[in-house]
Amino acid sequence: MLSQSAAYPRPQLQRSSWICLNGPWKFTYDDAGQFIRPSDIDQWTHTIEVPFAPESVRSGIADTGFHKNCWYEREFDLPAEEGGVLLHFGAVDYYARVWVNGQFVGEHEGGHTPFSLDITSVLNANGPQRVTVWAEDDPQDLAKPRGKQDWQLEPHSIWYPRTSGIWQTVWAERVPKTYIDRLRWTPHFERWEIGFEGFVAGQRQNGLQLKVRLSVGEQLLVNDTYEVLNGEVHRRIALSDPGIDDYRNELLWSPEKPTLIDAEIQLWHQGKLLDEVKSYTAMRTVSIQRDRFMLNGRPYYLRLVLDQGYWPETLMTAPSDDALRQDVELTKRMGFNGVRKHQKVEDPRFLYWADVLGLLVWEEMPSAYRFSPKAVERLTREWTEVIERDASHPCVVVWVPFNESWGVPDLTATAAHQNCVQALYHLTRTLDPTRPVIGNDGWESTATDIIAIHDYDNQPNRLVKRYGPEVKLSDLFERQRPGGRMLTLDGYPHRGQPIMLTEFGGIAYAKREDPATDRIWGYVRSANAADLQMRYAALLDAVNRVEMFSGFCYTQLTDTFQEANGLLYADRTPKIPLDIIASATLGRGEDETARAMLPPVVRTEWLQGQDARSEAAEAGWSSVDSIQPVPYCGGNHST
């Protein structure tokens, strides 16, 4: 049965009918590396629940040991129709080879980015289709982008359980012989235009046209038709500019008012409709002006929270689409206007909810931990794919290719390491000149649009003394060494860029009855919830008063395995009332705009003095009534 779920895995290029291939698959490890092709496998030892990684509880396997190779297989029915069939993988960590009906159809390297395969020529005319996947993921390979996945057998310090193999949605869809393959949207606020790029694939034909219809609600903005030349369309679509700010603001996207522009794109040939997809875009611009971050041409103070994107039983895969939406909602309820997605390329469904509900996202490349030509090549290729996948999302406002010199450990002394950071910075600015780029977040800055500082000093008075009004900028960059590191390297002085405190806090707190309390990790530890509340309020009061900062990012959103320094427990219930967190996040001088961005807080008053974990679960947190929850493909196993 073709799925009609609104939770399409690729939100910005949706077709009406598709087949979700999540659910039970046959599975086996191949630790000896003896299997070369599907016919070599004589026994499937497990059943796995895709898209959950075999290390996760929800996969049904929960094996966190060292395994380099694993195999998957399942059958699915596909009604016989004219046209082609594409098989899509959201992400497979790290290297994947795919067969359909025993025929090899393609491969992909890179554990965080999607790939698609045309399987039309190998389909059975009658009977079920069989797809087989081999995933190779060396658990101790430090020269590949791996983010927070631990290379030791057990998670230690700030690293977590590994995620191997398929960990995002698998799906198939029918396409015509000539079809719409890719779209890219780029808003141009200063000219009141939307840049549109459309790419057509499949059988080449002359006389193709793309029809683009843009609307907001019932208001039609654009209804144009463009000629397809060499399989592509590149246009700047002029919108009717009302001129007056009050009317312009009705169309602008921001966390306070996340207006999206619906898009319908049709492919026509000689009066015949060949293909039709739905998408969306937004009128939104980000930039740097002197020492301020700018949103839609106005200074905008960033209040971010570090978001690792892990769940206890599903690891890097969200347990449901509602879970992704809930993270966005909770983040906004705590007064934050954005997240720094840390060491993870998040599922596109998260970006969809950030677009819809209004949450800024800093997107960061998962790090490798060894520098080599191979590591640089892997990182560059996958980072390019990340930008290609997510450049059209209005919520994404900053790109971050490196964090804390991970993967470039000799950045202070080795020219090749410095060149690597500069090269990725300039490559990113070339692929997307519309967003700021932080070459290396935290310290040892070279090429960067924002000076990003990581400082986990837990004494508010020391933070004010270090960054407050009495501090000269020259002294800051010459004398201060947060984490024992230089803020900028020689030859890369501060050029007036915005300065942001992009990691601080990290206050750990776990309940005494938690059996893991003696093993938790954090930068400072609270004795109880009241102490956590006091410490958080004091830190945020100090940081909000530092005029030097044009934004901050608090560590962190949720407890993540042994890191118990979240504002929420790992199950997303709050450690202290959400309204109290929001008050501290916004600081003493919050204005009406900042206060207005807060959604209604659900019954937080009865969290006072009570067990937040049980009460929040009873109250429920998915409370934005204007958008109905939709099924997550990861939870629907029928085909």
Express each pLDDT in 202-242 by its tens digit.
999 999 999 999 999 999 999 999 999 999 999 999 998 77
- For the chain (639 residues), the mean pLDDT of every run of 10, in chain order, is 61 94 98 94 97 98 96 92 93 98 98 97 92 97 95 90 97 96 96 96 96 96 97 95 77 97 98 97 97 97 98 97 98 98 98 98 97 98 99 99 96 96 98 98 96 95 92 84 86 93 95 62 88 96 96 97 95 96 82 47 30 35 32 40
Kindly report, residue by residue over 583-632, the tens digit of the pLDDT. Answer: 999 985 444 444 444 544 322 322 333 333 333 333 333 332 233 333 34
CA dist., res. 111 & res. 118, Å (int): 20
Q: What is the pLDDT of residues 39-63, one digit of tens each?
A: 999 999 999 999 999 999 999 999 9
Residue 72: predicted pLDDT: 99
Asked whether residue 4 is domain-assigned, the answer is: no
- Do 146 and 171 lie in one domain? The reply is yes
What CATH number is attached to the domain comprising 68? 2.60.120.260
What's the rounded Cα separation, in Å, for the pair 221 and 493? 45
Count of beta carbons in the 10 Å neighbourhood of residue 90:
25
610, amino acid identity: Q
Q: What is the DSSP string of 588-600?
A: TT--HHHHHTPPP
In a domain, 530, yes or no: yes
Last residue of a domain, one of 175, 205, 236: 175
Q: What pLDDT is recorded for position 82?
A: 83
- pLDDT for the residue 623: 30
Residues 451 and 536 in one domain: yes
Cis omega (within 30 of 0) for bond into 203? no
Asked if residue 296 is part of any domain, the answer here is no
At 264 the pLDDT is 98
- The whole-angstrom separation of Cα 436 and Cα 359 is 17
Structure tokens of 351?
A: 């970006």
Q: Which residues contact 347 (CB under 8 A, 6 or more apart)?
A: 90, 168, 317, 318, 324
Q: What are phi and psi of 274, to 5 degrees?
A: -95, -45
Q: Tell me whether residue 10 is in a domain.
A: no
Are residues 337 and 241 part of one domain? no
Residues 184 and 165 in one domain: no
pLDDT for 481: 79
Q: Could you tell me if residue 134 is inside a domain?
A: yes
Q: Are 183 and 171 contained in the same domain?
A: no
In a domain, 2, yes or no: no
Same domain, 103 and 216: no
Q: What is the CA radius of gyration of the chain?
A: 25
Neighbours of 157 (CB within 10 A): 10
540 & 582 share domain: yes
Residue 374's domain spans which residues?
Answer: 301-619
Asked if 237 and 322 sit in the same domain, the reply is: no
Number of domains making up the chain:
3
In a 3-state reduction of DSSP, which class is residue 76? strand
d(CA 616, CA 177): 51
The whole model's pTM is what?
0.91
